[in-house]
Every structure is written in C-alpha cells, then in structure tokens.
Amino acid sequence: MNIEKFIADTVQGAVEALYGPLTGEQLQIQKTRKEFAGDYTLVTFPLLKKSRKSPEMTANEIGAWLKENKAEIKDFNVIKGFLNLELDPSFWADRFTEIIADKEFGYGQPTGRTIMIEYSSPNTNKPLHLGHIRNNLLGYSVAEILKANGHSVIKANLVNDRGIHICKSMLAWQLYGEGETPASSGMKGDHLVGKYYVEFDKHYKAEIKELMAEGMSEEEAKKQAPIMRGAQEMLRKWETGDEEVRALWSTMNGWVYDGFDVTYKALGVDFDKVYYESQTYLLGKSLVEEGLAKEVFYRREDNSVWIDLTGDGLDEKLLLRGDGTSVYMTQDLGTAFRRFEDNKLDDMIYVVGNEQNYHFQVLKLVLKKLGYAAWSDHITHLSYGMVELPEGKMKSREGTVVDADDLIADMVKTAREMSAELGKLDGCTEEEAEAVSTMVGLGALKYFILKVDPKKTMLFDPRESIDFNGNTGPFIQYTHARICSVLRKAADQGIAYDTKAEAALIPEEIELVKMLSDYPATVAAAGENFAPSIIGAYIYELAKSFNGYYHDHSILREENVEVRKLRLQMAATVASVIRKGMKLLGIDVPERM
C-alpha cells in the first residue's frame, strides 16, 4: 500500500463529505513533526474558503469525521490550523504483514526508460586514486538505485586512452624507462605507467627552469621545453597512425587496463559497456565538420575551429586545434552521438567532478545548436565535490595522490586490526576473518564516501570511517550480523516464526514498521536526486532504531510465543531491508561478526 496516497484519499473523502467536492483546493498533507503526537498532518488553511470556518474548527470537524467513519484513524489532535492524525495500531500491523509478504519490497515497477550512466572515466596515464574511488562508488550506486526504481540501466565507462597526457607517459618511458615492464619491475601496470607520468613532469619542470635561466619567459619556456614539444609531436604521429607510436600506445595501455581491472574488482564495481576515446574522437571530428557546414562553428586563421557562445552568456570554445588534433569537447560530442544512436537512450548521466560543470554546460549547448536538442535536453551532469585529506589536496603530476589500491589494502588491514581488538573475529576461521575484514574495510570506505551529499566536497578520514559506533558502515554491518546471530540461534533452538504472529504491536514496533514502510519512498527519492546519501541516512536510522529496540526488548528469552514470533519477524525484516539498502550502496553485510 502507498500510505501517503491512502491518507490523501481518506482525508479527501472526509473533506468532500463535510464541505462538498474539492474544486482546485489542494490538500497539504505531511508527516507529523516528531514533537507532536500523530502520524500525518493536514494543513487546513487552504480549505477555509470551502469550510467557511476557523482553522481550528475546520480541523476538529475533519478529525471527528475521520475518527467516526474510518477505522484506520485511531485519534486526532489539533494544533492551531494543523490536524494531526494518529493511525490505529492494527493499520501498522497490516502494513507489516504486507511488507513481510512482498518479495519485491522496495523495487519499483518497470518504467520502460533506458538510462546510461557513465562513471570512472579514467586516464590511461596513471592509476586510480581516492578521487576516482568517489566517482566509481557514486556512479555504481546511482546505477543500482535507478535499477531499483524500475529503469533499464546501462553502466558505461569512457576510457580516456588518447591525448597529450597519454603521450607524456609514453615519451617519458621511451626516454627513461630502459625497457621496464610490469613483469620485470613487479609493479602493477597502471602504477608503472603512472610512474612515468610523474617522471615527465619532473623533467618538464627542470627544462622550464633551465630555459628561464637562459632569459626566456616562463610562458615561452613552457611551450619550447623539448620534452613538451616531443609529447606534442608524438600526439601528431599517433593521430596520423604512426605504427611505432601506435604499438607503444597499445602496449602501455594494455598494462594499464590489466591494473584497472584489479582495482575495479576490489571495489566491486563493473560496467556493461566500455567506450574508448580513441574510437570516438574521429566521429567528434565529423560533427565539427558538420558544424562548420551549418555555420554553427567557425575557423580561425591558425586553422583551429571554434564556437562563439558569448550570446548565450558563455565564451568562445575551442573544438579543434590548428594542427587538426581534437580536444575533450570534440570527443565528447562524438561519444554522445554514438551512445544515443546505438542505445536509443531516454537519459544520459555523466558522473564527473564539479570542476567540469562548465564543460557539460557547453556540451549540451553545442549539441542543441547542432540540431540535437532531443539529446541535449536529456543529458544530466551528476556533479560531485572533490575528496580532500587532512593534509590537503591531491596532485597526480606530483605523485601526491592517495592510490586506490593502497587505500583499499590499508582499509582492510585496519578493519582486521580493529575487529580483532574488539573480539569480533573470535571463533572465526582464517578464511572467515579475512572475508569479514574485507567486507568491513570496504564497507567502511564506501559508506563514509556515499553518506555525504554528492555535491559537497568531503574530507576523508580512514580511521574515523572504521568505527563500530556512530554513523558508519561497520555499525550498520554489525547490526545486521547481530540480527543474523539471533535468527541462527532461533533456528538452532527450533523456534519457528514463519506464520503470522498473533500479537499486538507495541509503540517501539510501530515506529519500526513506520520506518520500514518508508523504504520504497526512500529508494524513489534517492533515484530522483541521484543521491545514495539518502539511502545511507535511512539505513543508519533504521539500524540505530532497531538497536534501541533490541536493547530494551528480549527476543529469544521472551516467554510469550506469539510476541517472540513477532519480534523475530521484526528482526528478520529489518535485516532484509538493511541488506537491500546496503546492496544499493554496493556494500556487503556479513552474517557473522
């Protein structure tokens, strides 16, 4: 049952019985604020023209009618013009029965809409780092939430496998690598290539400094530095199909892909489709030619291609360099075209950091001016804030990033140490201890990142995230494991709870049923807002409420058979919803801990 719709329909029946049909008046119904008694509140002020009475009298009349005519309404109270309605415990008992019986609880009906969500989008010149972790976790979770809302979802990865930044690593490896490979060095492939990206930057800075010492300006030195000119020449060769450059590019990218796969597997994220910029940038170039033919774009004297968006409150945007090489916008145009054409998409969501807000504003506008408004209006940039550390911002070129692989390993190691200290691994085999530590370490990392609103810049503190108390992944995981322990003991003692319990709900149980009833609406809200944080906040509150209930009310030692059965059903249902919600965040929950 949709409780909000039921309340709205019930209240509308009361209003029309008392004052006649509603003709444009809007019912304003909301959940009752915690400081007042009641479940749902009707704001009567919009109905005063209809009732021709004071707010208090109108509220009292509606409340009295509902209490008299609707068994579901137990009582009411009026605070000024606000009518607070209290639902009968039997109403919540029926909802609990419905929730238990609904195997698809929390999952929406198929919508027929196809949505592609792009996340990760790594460069093949460096390993994944903490910023990429937020991107991957956010993208994967939003995809799972959209699926739970009934959409057909395609998880996509666009690999930035070409461009000047890729050539920087390649050239540095040529100059300083001495044939080093992942096999010969024992380094993960993406780490090895990233090493040479840092190496390039080190030599580039040295050359700039040397040229400036010879009297050249900094700006000119940056352009004339031999290593930068070499990287630019390598890019030109790549775009003309030079066999030697292409062979090196293929080899080094292969090293990176092997490394990425290991990290993705550890993070528990996956993709339905992988696109490569090397395969879409030419299509982007053809769209640039199309724009020139339509006079949407123009060519400058240096042969570069631009679009003037000053009339739209933006600026002039480069689409193709003078030497014919493409820029990010070129390939993004091509990629967008291919995706909408190939997949018949209804919506396209890009999960990209907020430093690219302007880029996506331009992308949508350029597509619209090219005549693809049907697409551009269905592009959403899911912009998220950066991840910072207590020490400050990360910089890839300088090698000061928090490596994703190192962070994952450290989280698992710390989770094992803290779990062991607290005795949560007592009785576990080595295999079980390792599995629980991995689950807890990754759960802590994922939950800590996803519980923050995507738009906000966040400060990541690894130690704070692995805490078995407070708003953390391990706290929720432990709550689930605790419930599983109770259910195992019930099974061991032969206590059955698979038939309806003939026991009345107590107030704490009614509160839990209310929370459980909110789960589908929570999933819907998270999907509408692309916000896993909404799921995280809900699951935390549910776990916290259950822990309070469990602390105050014995389950297995309860002597009344029907009450015990009800409490076991409540525990099992809470565990099920915790499991479902955490799965939408990409987090596993242990049965033992």
Phi/psi-derived region of residue 452, left when phi > 0, alpha when psi is between -120 and 50, beta in every other case: beta
Q: How many helices (H) does the chain have, and how many strands (E)?
A: 23, 14
Looking only at the bridges linking them, the beta strands covering 305-308 and 316-320 are antiparallel
Task: Let me know: does 41 contact 51? Beta carbons within 8 Å.
Answer: no
- What mean pLDDT is predicted for residues 56-70? 96
Residue 351 to residue 454: CA distance in whole angstroms: 10
| HSE, side-chain direction, 13 A CA sphere, residue 302 | 8
Which residues is 77 bridged to in the sheet?
84
Task: Let me know: does 436 contact 590? Beta carbons within 8 Å.
Answer: yes
What integer pLDDT is reported at residue 400 of this predicted model?
Answer: 52
What integer pLDDT is reported at residue 198 of this predicted model?
Answer: 93
Which one is predicted more confidently, 279 or 178? 178
Q: What digits encode the pLDDT tens for the residues 304-361?
A: 999 999 999 999 999 998 888 778 888 889 888 888 888 899 999 999 999 999 999 9
Candidates 170, 130, 592; CA nearest to 390 is 130
Q: What digits encode the pLDDT tens for the residues 214-270?
A: 999 999 999 999 999 999 999 999 989 999 999 999 999 999 999 999 999 999 999
Q: Residue 454 has which token pair? A: 């995507």
Instruction: Report helix, strand or coil for 576.
Output: helix
What integer pLDDT is reported at residue 391 of this predicted model?
Answer: 62
pLDDT band at 23 (very low <50, low <70, confident <90, very high): confident
Q: What digits encode the pLDDT tens for the residues 385-409?
A: 988 776 644 444 444 568 899 999 9
- What mean pLDDT is predicted for residues 287-304? 93
Show Cβ contacts of residue 519 under 8 Å, excluding neighbours closer than 6 positions.
105, 106, 538, 577, 580, 581
- What mean pLDDT is predicted for residues 477-490? 96
**Predicted TM-score (pTM) of this structure:** 0.90
DSSP assignments along 379-414, one per residue: EEEEEEPPEEBTTB---TTTT-S-BHHHHHHHHHHH
Where do the domains of the chain lie, and which CATH numbers do they carry? 3-87 (3.30.1360.70), 119-388 (3.40.50.620), 404-584 (1.10.730.10)
Residue 328 to residue 307: CA distance in whole angstroms: 14
Q: Residue 196 has which token pair? A: 């040479």
Between CA 113 and CA 117, with CA 114 as vertex, the angle to 5 degrees is 130
434 residue type, one letter: E
What strands, in cross-sheet order, belong to the sheet with 316-320? 298-299, 305-308, 316-320
Candidates 148, 314, 325, 158; CA nearest to 233 is 325
Task: Let me know: does 542 contact 569? Beta carbons within 8 Å.
Answer: no
Residue 24 to residue 103: CA distance in whole angstroms: 38
Looking at the chain, the whole-number percentage of residues with pLDDT higher than 70 is 98
